[in-house]
Amino acid sequence: MRKDLHEANRLSWNAATIAHNSHKGDQAAFFRNGGSTLFPEELELLGDVAGLSLLHLQCNAGQDSLSLARLGADVTGVDISDEAIAFARRLSDESGIPARFEREDLFTWLEQAARDRRLFDRVFTSYGTICWLSDLDRWASGLAGVLKPGGRFAFIEFHPFAMVFNEQWQPHYDYFRSAPVEEDGVGDYVAQSGDGLTPGASEVGVVDFRNPHRSYEFYWGVGDVVSALIRAGLILERMVEFPYANGWRGFDGMRDIGGRRMAPPESMPRIPLMYGLVANQRSSAHVTVDHGVGGPDQDPR
């Protein structure tokens, strides 16, 4: 585990979070008016959360956490970024949607929560999360340690296959990278994605953001994730892949195919850009693998 790199990422995220939220307009008003930042794919994986305790790991600035709380969940959000948690707490107060937010390194938080026997009906994490984690086995065992018997872990993430390409869709990066990769810092992907990641009023905000803090990413394949969850004793119930990315315009020429789902240019073959899974604490389960079930622009064959 590389907590030194986690700490570097905390500083980078603190700077980036300010830039990200500068583009999103009056978010409190957006929520007071009934807004939600959730996508249908997340809700399908989570199931009905009304009346359930829900742990949102790497919750960022709390927008999805508050959207889940509005659905009736008792939400606890955890993130390493001071700026993100401070913003989430303000947004909760100003929107009138109750949720608790706690700042801590993920591994430290999970270990302490397990010692304190803090258990949850649902654990949720989404989009650009595991690339910041230096130890997947510790992550998976931590999840297992805070799930109630019969509890569900719902996970949705950008597909690691897509990360083989550079922004011009040229194969460039090794899928099987094993060492952490040093980057220029967390970028302003919200500005890059435009209205894809600003479902409320969009503003120009910070222009030409340059992060003063370096960041470090860890690359995990689908097999790494699934195997870590199985080793932790969780049962994989479902896995699904999608030929689009929710909200994120990470590559040249990405087009909105409806519902802020971003797909490659029409000239390209469809590839997996996102995947999700459900794992639980039941005594038995079976694995089903879908390819883009429930989404638009899909080949029915």
* pLDDT at residue 288 tops 70: no
Give the confidence band of 228 by pLDDT, cuts at 50, 70, 90: very high
In a domain, 301, yes or no: no
- DSSP string covering 124-179, please? EEESS-GGG-S-HHHHHHHHHHHEEEEEEEEEEEE-GGGGGB-TTS-B-S-TT--S
| Token code pair at residue 299 | 């080949």
User: Which structural domain, as residue segments, surrounds residue 83?
Assistant: 3-291
In a domain, 160, yes or no: yes
In a domain, 298, yes or no: no
| Token code pair at residue 162 | 């897509």
Measured CA to CA in angstroms, residue 164 lies from 91, 102, 128, 273 at distances of 36, 34, 15, 11
Task: Give the dihedral sign, CA 129/134/138/140.
Answer: positive
* pLDDT at residue 40 tops 70: yes
Q: What integer pLDDT is reported at residue 282 of this predicted model?
A: 62
* pLDDT at residue 265 tops 70: yes
Average of per-residue pLDDT across 90-119: 97
- 233: domain CATH number is 3.40.50.150
SS3 of residue 11 by DSSP:
helix
Give the confidence band of 253 by pLDDT, cuts at 50, 70, 90: very high
225: left (phi over 0), alpha (psi -120 to 50) or beta: alpha
196 vs 144, higher pLDDT: 144
What are the pLDDT digits (tens) for 121-167? 999 999 999 999 999 999 999 999 999 999 999 999 999 999 999 99
pTM of this structure: 0.89
Instruction: Domain count for the chain, please give it.
Output: 1
Average of per-residue pLDDT across 19-23: 88
